[in-house]
Structure 1
């Protein structure tokens, strides 16, 4: 790990540029370690943090840390399983809930899930994006926990809307979980009461969303043929596919070269400085795709709602066309070269701000921070539904687009989406 990454890890776990001296062993040392590791893993990813970094950030020796956890993986696993259990348990209702209405039961579950997510915000990031680095048995256990949570929400939505199909219930349950846990994807802040109220309202709107009929079949976007002479473009596509399938740390330049039909890794360096340069190029493309659509949409729209509806359609279509790129955009930012991060963050921030500005013109009751939270939730919903259902007809573009509208507007758009 580079010196810059070590410094970032220390700051992630301690909030300071240098480790603090700890004079006595606190009684809650394991809790401190769990919180510190969650912050470090969330900031730099599982592969970007070492036990030495976590120990240094806490101001203790590596030996002291190993007395509590035998390995980095053990620490990582325990935290993910703890948060998985907490989220699953949040869906458990008390005995007296048998007398409650369907809306009251769902509201109670939502409040508990939102509270648990806020309390464990740093670690929820790991559950969302780093769980793929769990060993197979552990990953299966976490998936079981998530399935139990989604099934619980599906059962309560079914009480509220018995006309829905099983697939409809699955879509709405995933959308609700996505909206709540999207707060782990960014660092925007809101007072807890305001955040709970905002997320509760968004999830209630999702639970009553009038889903369009599912399509009979979904036509996969045709793959764009890349001429053999466009090796730089072919390398970028193959790199993104490998990063998506296996994670950036587990992919080598040699494997990217082989996937692109190059005879040796050295050929990659004629087009890119290295693996990290390929990742940065992918991020620039994803960020530019979102930002470049804003001007034309605003210029051609009759009002802010129409502009946002157009942007939603563009965002969904682009995400469906490049699912791997959309996923990588969420999962691998910590691996982008440091010199690229500021520029990329600025593009991301300006795009979110423009979406939020348009949203506030539609919903004047929202504060700037509340609008930003909803924009992040709408973006997250697209990637979460995509990775949960792929190209299933019941999660087609029209449905995903409508759910984005519901998250942002609290209702379907009054402006028809482009066909």
Structure 2
């Protein structure tokens, strides 16, 4: 965490004392620590933050921090479990809701879930992308909490749409949860009421989506064949696989070399400067895949909606082809070298802006910020449905494309 970030965290949490002022220990110190750690973990990742960083950001000593929490893991665990409980509590309907219509009950569940997500936006980032660093028993509990949220969404959706089969319910409830929690993947700003209204409308569109027929069996992904002699590409592919399976901090250069069939880690350095250079190369590929598609799609289309449909098609196809890379792009961004991070953020920002510009031509009622939120929700849908269902036919490319169109346009595409 940079010195500037620590100063900002300290000012945000404590304020700067006047000269000679005696600082009293605040009564809500534990809550302040939890909020500061959630922000730090969300920005830098679990492995990128130390107890010293958190203490410095709060303007307290490490010893004072350890009086409240015995370890970094204790902080991390408590915050994830707290938000998991907040989300499961949010979807618990009161007894009087039995008198309401199915539509009213589903809307009530969505509104409460959205409110809890907005209130805990920083920590929802951890739930989405860092939960795998929990110890097995704690990870199982977090999974139970998420399953409980999905269960309530599925139950209420079934009451509203009894014609849906089990797989259709699984897909649509996952899509709704993805749209809600996608706000944790970016820093676009909107007033809370505007976010809540936009997400509620998007979720309702997804809830009412008419899905294409499910394909009869799983579709095996095309095997990626890389000649052993093409070591540059093979190293990149194997590194992304390992980062996906185990997390960037838990993978060594030696393991990457072994996976690529190299005799020693030193051989990696003939192609890349190190592990972080491999990650940056993978991220450049992911970012340029999205940005590079925009110009040709706009040039070939006869309308802004047509251009966006083409971009959605290409984004879905690219994500299906490189599932590991799509996941790693969200989970390991903080480990990219700072200078590369700036370049990648600029590429992503410009891509989102162009998608949002096209979307506003289709939906002029959206503000620029609302359009950006929806674009991020569309991206999240593709990645989340891929990691939830893999190659199950219930979430094939046709269905995923339709759901992204529904999230962005508020309906399936007309072109």
When the two structures are superposed, what TM-score results if normalisation uses the length of structure 2?
Answer: 0.97
Contact conserved, 1:19 with 1:59, CA < 8 A, in 2? Answer: no
| 1:59-116 deviation line (CA, Å, top 9, x unaligned) | 0111111111111001100000000000011101111100101110011111101110
Match of 2:113 in 1: 113
Determine the C-alpha separation between the residues in 2 that align with 1:14 and 1:381.
35
Determine the C-alpha separation between the residues in 2 that align with 1:379 and 1:406.
13
Match of 2:355 in 1: 355
Contact conserved, 1:248 with 1:332, CA < 8 A, in 2? Answer: yes
Deviation at 1:221, TM superposition (A): 2.7
Determine the C-alpha separation between the residues in 2 that align with 1:183 and 1:332.
18
Contact conserved, 2:219 with 2:392, CA < 8 A, in 1? Answer: no
| 1:249-302 deviation line (CA, Å, top 9, x unaligned) | 000000000000000000000000000000000000000010111111111111
Contact conserved, 1:212 with 1:398, CA < 8 A, in 2? Answer: yes
Determine the C-alpha separation between the residues in 1 that align with 2:243 and 2:212.
33
Determine the C-alpha separation between the residues in 2 that align with 1:8 and 1:317.
40
Determine the C-alpha separation between the residues in 1 that align with 2:11 and 2:146.
31
Contact conserved, 1:205 with 1:410, CA < 8 A, in 2? Answer: yes
Question: RMSD of the TM alignment (CA)?
Answer: 1.5
Instruction: Structure 2: state its 5+ residue gaps.
Output: none
Determine the C-alpha separation between the residues in 1 that align with 2:262 and 2:254.
9
Determine the C-alpha separation between the residues in 2 that align with 1:71 and 1:359.
46
Match of 2:9 in 1: 13
Contact conserved, 2:34 with 2:79, CA < 8 A, in 1? Answer: yes
DSSP-derived class of the 1:187 partner: coil
| 1:10-48 deviation line (CA, Å, top 9, x unaligned) | 2573367x9956811100011000000000000000000
When the two structures are superposed, what TM-score results if normalisation uses the length of structure 1?
Answer: 0.96
Determine the C-alpha separation between the residues in 1 that align with 2:213 and 2:294.
29
Match of 2:102 in 1: 102
Does structure 1 residue 153 correspond to structure 2 residue 153? yes
Determine the C-alpha separation between the residues in 2 that align with 1:88 and 1:38.
19
Instruction: Structure 1: state its 5+ residue gaps.
Output: none
Contact conserved, 2:219 with 2:393, CA < 8 A, in 1? Answer: no
Match of 1:228 in 2: 228
Match of 1:205 in 2: 205
Deviation at 1:219, TM superposition (A): 2.5
Match of 2:71 in 1: 71
Deviation at 1:218, TM superposition (A): 3.2
Matched residues, number: 411
Does structure 1 residue 51 correspond to structure 2 residue 47? no
Contact conserved, 1:20 with 1:58, CA < 8 A, in 2? Answer: no
Q: 1:204 to 1:12 in 2, by over 3 A?
A: farther
| 1:384-417 deviation line (CA, Å, top 9, x unaligned) | 11111111000111111100000000000011xx
Match of 2:334 in 1: 334
Does structure 1 residue 196 correspond to structure 2 residue 181? no
Determine the C-alpha separation between the residues in 2 that align with 1:13 and 1:378.
31
| 1:189-212 deviation line (CA, Å, top 9, x unaligned) | 001111111000000000000011
Q: Counterparts in 2 of 1:216-365, with a 5 A limit? A: 216-365=216-365
